[in-house]
Every structure is written in C-alpha cells, then in structure tokens.
A = this chain, B = another copy of it.
Amino acid sequence: MAWFRSLIRFSVTKSSSSSSSPSIRPGTASPFSPFPSPSLSWLAAAHFSSGQPLAHEPPAVVPHAGLGPTKPGEKPRVVVLGSGWAGCRLLKGLDTKTYDVVCVSPRNHMVFTPLLASTCVGTLEFRSVAEPIGRIQPAISREPGSYFFLAKCTGLDADKHEVQCETATDGPDTLEPWKFKISYDKLVIGLGAEASTFGIKGVLEHAIFLREVYHAQEIRRKLLLNLMLSDVPGVSESEKSRLLHCVVVGGGPTGVEFSGELSDFIMRDVHQRYAHVKNYIHVTLIEANEILSSFDDRLRHYATKQLTKSGVRLVRGVVKDVEARKIILDDGTEVPYGLLVWSTGVGPSPFVKSLELPKAPGGRIGVDEWLRVPSVEDVFAIGDCSGFLESTGKPTLPALAQVAERQGKYLAGLLNRIGKDGGAFANTAKDMAFGDPFVYKHLGSMATIGRYKALVDLRQSKLHWDDLWGYNSAGGKGLISCWILELVHLAIGISYTCDQLEEQILCGD
C-alpha cells in the first residue's frame, strides 16, 4: 500500500532527522525573538518522535485499526452509512444521551437536492443547498465516542456486527486509501441510489449528472466556459451552435427544473452579458416517454406549454449512444451538444447490489414494516437504497426526499425507544415489540419550471401546514423546508447563505 509505505519511509527520515532538529536556531532569529520555546519541543513531540529509536516508532497506520465492540459502561453505538436525506434525518433525531453515533460517508455534508438545479445558473448559491453534517448532529464533532468518518463502506459482516470501511480522499491530491473496521450495536444503511445510465455507452464519460453540488459546479463552469469560447475569433457558426447547445436527457422533475432554470438564465443573463453570442444558445430536453410522467395530465400539459414558450425545445427520443460532442438517438439522429446533463432516474449502487441481504423489487435492500432487514440482527435500511419486501404486501415507495426523510425520522424515534427499553446493545432487541410500523403518507409533488412558475400536485393527499412543518425540520436549522423555500424562491428567487466552511471545500470547489 503506497500510502503506508511512504509513511514508513517518512518516519525513518523523521527519526533520523530528530538528531538535527536542534539546528532550528531559536536564538539567532532577531525579529522572531522571543522565539517560542514550546515550538521546538512541539516539533520534536509531533514530528521527531522525541528521537526514539525506530523500533519504538509507532507505525504510521495502526494495523487492525477501527472501533471495536462497545464495552460495558460505554454507550451503545449506532453506525449510519450515508449522509443523504434518510441518514441525516436519522442522525438529527437520534438521542445522543442514549447512543454514540458514527456516520460513514464520502460526503461531509447533506445536499438539499430539490434545489440543486437552481444553483447551476446562480439562482441559488451552492452553500444554500448544502448543510454540514456537524451542524445536523453536533455530537459527531464533540462527543468522545461519536464521529464522522470521511470514508465509504466496503463490506458488512452482520454476524460479527462489523462494517469494513476505506477512507475516501478524491481530489487533486488523492491519497492511497486505508482500511479500518467499525463494530456496531445498530447499523442503519442509508446509502441512497445511483444515477442510472441504462448501460448507454459514453454517458459516464461525457454527461454530467445533477445529484451532487460538484455536479452543479461543473455545469456552471462548463456553461460559462462554452459561452466565452464561442465568442473567440475562429469559431465557425456551426461550432458556436454546438458549444452553446445545452441538452438535457430525462424529463423528470430534475430535468424539467434544470431546463427551466437554464432558459431563465439565457433570457436574463446571457442576453445582457453575452450579447455577441446570445442568438446561438439553445436548450433541448430529450425524453423517451412523457415529461413529468408522475404528475397529473393537466399539469404536464401546462409544463409543456410553459417550457416551449420560454424557448426550451422538447424532443421525444431514445438516446442510443453518447460521444464527446454529440449524442445519437435510436433513429440515427445526431444531436451535437456543448453541455449534456443526464437525469434519467436512479437505481441501486453496485455496493448495495453486492450486499448478501434479502432484496426488494428493483434490487433494493428488503425491509419489513419497521424498516428492519430480516434474517440479520440489528440492521436497518432507509431511503432510496431500501424497499419493502414483497412479503409485507406493501408497494415500493418512490425514490423521493420526502420518503427518505420520513423514514429517517421514524427510525430515529424507534431506535430511541428501543434504547430506553434496554435493547440498544447488539443482540438485545431480538424479541422486543417494535410498536407502530412505518406508514408513508404522500404530501404531494412539486416541480419548478422556470420564470418563477411551479407545478404542485396534491392529488394523493390533502395538504396540511402541520405536515409541511413536520416535513421541514429535515436538514437542520441551516436548511428551510424544500416546500417553503421553493415557494419563497418562486416568489423572489432568494439566495441565502449558511456561514459554514466544509460544504464549499469537499464538494468540488
């Protein structure tokens, strides 16, 4: 393991150099005097292992590292995999007096997905749609036994009550990841789903999804880059049109909302600030069936009319192949593009598929009415990665924030209750009565379509403000409810900021 090796090398030079460490000359540095003498000892302590012989040098990475099983006297440990709507809502609700909480995720923030499309063109700021996990559950940065680990889960040993993890350090200076293990008393799998490409060649290489903040940032960057490149002398007419042709594949809420935002951006900003090329930029939305198929017919037609009116070209077609500068539809039509955004729904991740657990329709992790994974002890699954087992006779719930959020909230309450009843530790809740099962009540669907217009579909439910407020508390105080915020945003396109640092860093800045 290169990472490990390099550290060993490094500690050798370190200890050898400890002898020469006094050669940092405190005395001589006139403007530095008084030279802080602690600094020298600190340098020694921190970096030169106080000159210990190499033999006693602690290895850079401790072997078999991790968190072992909780001992009597310690708090029971809930391990949460993932930091999406489900996982974060659970983290927020867990009683940290009863439990130590450990969150494992490659993302140190929660993304407020319903508003992500608005950040691509500057209607909202990136920070406005991201919330650091340390804000949602402060215990992870303060409590001795609670942690957030920037890592991904690579394996599960349900009998041993243990997960294997690996550090996630994507970025310019990616480090060789190192592995560690965490024992759990309760495990909650909230790993979400992955954007589905339907095995179409070139999607992963050339298209941009719209599920993470860094996706939105990449869309912004590319859009502006293309606007500027198309203005440089030497670009032919057809190449200008290609660079400024924004193609969106997938007519679900995300695709429609992004198309609407984009056409707003073109009418509002491009016409004013890129006058030289304003007539070359166009938006095309490609959908195999019907846009917003989950919405009521009249709403769908209204959306179609509005989008067309604001210049979005709706094309019915099936994408067969994606190349660097054009996509090919199944009828052979070639559509050149400068920006390609892909939002054709989601499916289970390879890791979820690989887990040897009972599965629900669609390859999701199967759960019972209490969101338990049967056949293994103390394991729960929530959000897009989970689904009711057929044996429950319940339908698979849609992959929506509102489902995930409600499941997280329910499970937090359930675990807190189990904790109070003495079932918090591993294998102690076997024969416990779990009380009311999870029941999902759909509050309705909403999609913005640009020009501060939106569709709200409330067929399946009567809307109560109480429900709304119940639904709100999702993302912690930094995040206002998607409902309320989308309404505000429709009204005045408001952009607000939470004075936090993390989300800016690790989401691709």
- Flag whether A484 is at the interface (Cβ < 8 A): no
Q: Are B231 and A147 in contact, with the CB atoms below 8 A?
A: yes
Given contacts A13-B334, A122-B499, contact A314 B147 (CB under 8 A): no
Given contacts A238-B11, A313-B42, contact A274 B141 (CB under 8 A): yes
Q: Are B29 and A332 in contact, with the CB atoms below 8 A?
A: no
Which residues 456-509 of A have a CB within 8 angstroms of B?
A: 495, 497, 499-502, 504-506, 508-509
Question: How big is chain A's contact interface, by range?
Answer: 35 or more
Within the assembled complex, what's the spacing in Å between the Cα atoms of A227 and B53? 28
Q: Are A509 and B217 in contact, with the CB atoms below 8 A?
A: yes
**Contact check: which of B42, B58, B62, B336 meets A14 at CB < 8 Å?**
B336
Q: Are B141 and A6 in contact, with the CB atoms below 8 A?
A: no
Q: Are B42 and A282 in contact, with the CB atoms below 8 A?
A: yes
| Segment touching B, from A168-176, A424-432, A439-447 | A168-176
Q: Are B23 and A333 in contact, with the CB atoms below 8 A?
A: yes
Given contacts A141-B274, A317-B24, contact A220 B504 (CB under 8 A): yes
Q: Are A509 and B220 in contact, with the CB atoms below 8 A?
A: yes
Within the assembled complex, what's the spacing in Å between the Cα atoms of A239 and B506? 21
- Flag whether A21 is at the interface (Cβ < 8 A): yes
Taking CB atoms, residues of chain B closer than 8 Å to A272 are 141
Taking the nearest CB of chain B, how far is it from the CB of A334, in angstroms? Answer: 4
Within the assembled complex, what's the spacing in Å between the Cα atoms of A6 and B326? 12
Given contacts A7-B239, A14-B336, A501-B122, contact A150 B228 (CB under 8 A): yes
Taking CB atoms, residues of chain B closer than 8 Å to A7 are 236, 239
Q: Are B46 and A234 in contact, with the CB atoms below 8 A?
A: no
- Flag whether A59 is at the interface (Cβ < 8 A): yes
A276-311 contact mask (Cβ, 8 Å, vs B): 1 or 0: 100010101000001100000000110011001000
- Flag whether A223 is at the interface (Cβ < 8 A): yes
Could you pull out 29 A-B pairs where Cβ atoms are within 8 angstroms? A6-B324, A10-B326, A13-B326, A14-B336, A23-B331, A25-B316, A30-B290, A34-B305, A39-B313, A45-B241, A46-B282, A47-B336, A49-B238, A57-B238, A61-B235, A62-B234, A65-B235, A122-B500, A126-B504, A141-B272, A141-B274, A141-B276, A149-B232, A150-B229, A171-B221, A217-B505, A217-B509, A221-B505, A228-B506
